[in-house]
Amino acid sequence: MKTKKILIKIIYHTLVVAFGFVMIYPVLWMISGSFKDNSEILRGSLSLIPDELKLSNYATGWKGFSKITFARFFANSFFITAIATFGTVVSSSLVAYSLSRIKYRGRKIWFTAMLATMMLPGQVIMIPSFLIWYNLGLANSYVPLILPYFCGQAFFIYQMMQFMSGIPRELDEAATIDGCSKYSIYTHIILPLLKPAIVTTVIIQFYWKWDDYMGPLLYLSKPKSYTVSLAIKMFADAASTTDYGAMFAMSTLSLLPVFFIFLFFNKYLVEGIGTSGLKG
């Protein structure tokens, strides 16, 4: 009986690890590709260990295009992502507080509107939004990529509302009796308790924004303002043959920030996602 249990355990862990390895194989292959020769990559070699470890791909890749190095592209991406993520956290938590904790006329309407935006595919409003920014003369700037994030993101508002429904209302009531206004209930009670949901928002919004390709594609036309994702695509667009080694090297670097954020915060990821409100 005991050996059977151990056997099942071993099989379970082996399967989970083996399948997990297959899952991340493409990513590992890319990382190993960043140390490989172009000819080795194009042979379609399965091996994750390069014939010889080459660091030159990183040097050539970093040089970028027409005198703009990847330092610039990374700085641009960080700038946009950091501000947009900050905006999302602040605005979404404000709105979630309003929709889940305060009773006022019109709340139902705004809640429905929020759900509708959550399900509204971005591509439907892509063209008119572009035209609005174009008419405002801002189509070639970071504003369209940042400003909307200060207006709350429906997905995160919804997640935060789920989470807030788990914070006992008695806390609000006790604070009110102690003379707290509704504003200080938000800053002193809700916000600190919301931490797991905020962390989840930071992780997810950070990598959505960091990976975002369509937004920059629409709104950034000068190479100087390109984000990393646009810049990496330029390797593939080059008129001559693609430098796969350099492309993989920069791709690997581009994934690093996402990995680090995830490593630091990953234990919060499941805790921060509330599902209680989805029931019934």
Partner 1 sequence: MQTEVVKSRVKKIMNSNEMVGYVFAFPFIFGFICFSLIPILTSLRYAFTDFSLGSKTMEFVGGANFKQLLTDEVFLKSLRITLKYVFISVPLKLVFALLVAYLLTRKTRLQVLYRSLYYVPSLVGGSIAVALVWKQLFARKGLLNSIMGEMGLDPINWFGDQKLALYPLVLMSVWQFGSSMIIFAAGLKEISPTYYEAARIDGANMVQSFVNITLPCLSPIILYNLVMQTIQAFMAFTQAFVITAGGPDNGTMMYALYVYNQAFKYNHMGYACAMSWFMLIVMCLITLVIFKTSKSWVFTESGD
Residues 194-223 that bind partner 1 (CB under 8 A): 204, 207-208, 210-214, 218
| CA 169 from centre of chain | 31
- In the complex, what is the shortest distance from the CB of residue 53 to partner 1, in angstroms, rounded to a whole number? 20
Pick from 87, 160, 158: nearest CA to 118: 158
Task: Kindly state the number of chain residues that form the binding site for partner 1, as judged by CB under 8 A.
Answer: 96
CB of 120 to partner 1, least distance (A): 6
Q: Report the residue number, 30 or 68, with the smaller CB distance to partner 1.
A: 30
Which residue among 80, 84, 89, 114 contacts partner 1 (CB under 8 A)? 114
Tell whether residue 1 is a contact of partner 1 (CB under 8 A): no
Residue with token string 């008419």: 135
Residues 220-249 that bind partner 1 (CB under 8 A): 229-230, 232-233, 235-236, 244, 247-248
The span from the CA of 278 to the CA of 155, in Å, is: 13
Interaction between residue 32 and partner 1 (CB under 8 A): no
By CB under 8 A, residue 177 contacts partner 1: no
Regarding 57 and contact with partner 1 (CB under 8 A), the answer is no
5-9 LR contacts (CB < 8 Å, sep 24+): none
Place of tokens 């070699």: 45
Minimal distance in Å, beta carbon 78 to partner 1?
15
Contact 159/272 with Cβ under 8 angstroms?
A: yes
Closest to partner 1 by CB, 136 or 174:
136
Residues 178, 180, 185: CA angle, nearest 5 degrees: 125
Sole binder of partner 1 in the list 58, 142, 186, 226 (CB under 8 A): 186
Residues 93-112 that bind partner 1 (CB under 8 A): 94-95, 97-99, 102-107, 110
Residue 10 token pair = 């071993």
Least Å distance, CB 49 to partner 1, is: 15
Within residues 156-175, the interface with partner 1 by CB under 8 A covers 157
Site string for partner 1, 58-77 (x = CB under 8 A): --------------------
Site for partner 1 in 124-143 (CB under 8 A): 124-132, 134
Structural tokens at position 218? 């629409």
DSSP 8-state symbol, 69: -
Angle at 261 between CA 15 and CA 271, to 5 degrees: 65
Give 56 or 187: the residue with its C-beta nearer to partner 1: 187
Q: Given CA atoms 237, 241, 242, 246 in this order, what sign does their dihedral have?
A: negative
Q: What SS3 state is found at 68?
A: strand
CB atoms within 10 A of CB 162: 19
Minimum CB distance to partner 1 smaller for 25 or for 174: 25
